[in-house]
Amino acid sequence: MTDDGISLIHTIGSTEPKSPPQPWISLNIFPGGLVPSGSDLIDAIEKTNLVLSDMESLIHHYDKTLKVWLDRFLQNREKAKKMYSERFCKMWEFYLSSCSAAFYYRDLLVYQLQIVKNYTAIPSNRRDYIYR
């Protein structure tokens, strides 16, 4: 949280209700990871003394990021194979391509939440100050 009481949280989320973590992802990529829904995030904030002052759903953003990561990984696949293994390479190819598809075609997106301590911490009816 900044000195003026503003926090910006950027997190992967889902448009679907809470469900158990995807087993393969939990085992191989993000042990203990969860993908919250928008309501999960809001419910958690409402239990604090903080205020959700802005929430933005960034749809079709992270799929592009994962695609670039996949392209870079494939350019360096032989190096990764020498450092780790063929199994590791297949696992990361699968993860990057399948998650990119999930962000593009399914239920994954990035939530950006602005949380404040009080109502006077931010200008009213504007977002442009976030990107300065």
pLDDT along the chain (132 residues), means of 10: 75 87 90 91 91 89 94 98 97 95 91 86 64 62
**Active-site residue list:** 99
- Looking at residue 49, its amino acid is N
Residue 122 near residue 114, CB atoms below 8 Å = yes
Predicted TM-score of the model (pTM): 0.78
pLDDT for 49? 84
| 105-130 CB burial, b ≥16 within 10 A, e <16 | eeebbbbbbbbbbeeebbeeeeeeee
Query: In the CATH hierarchy, which top-level class contains the domain 6-122?
Result: alpha beta
List the structure tokens of 102: 């999930």
pLDDT for 60? 84
pLDDT for 95? 95
pLDDT for 19? 79
pLDDT for 6? 82
* Angle, CA 23 vertex, CA 21 and CA 26 arms, to 5°: 70
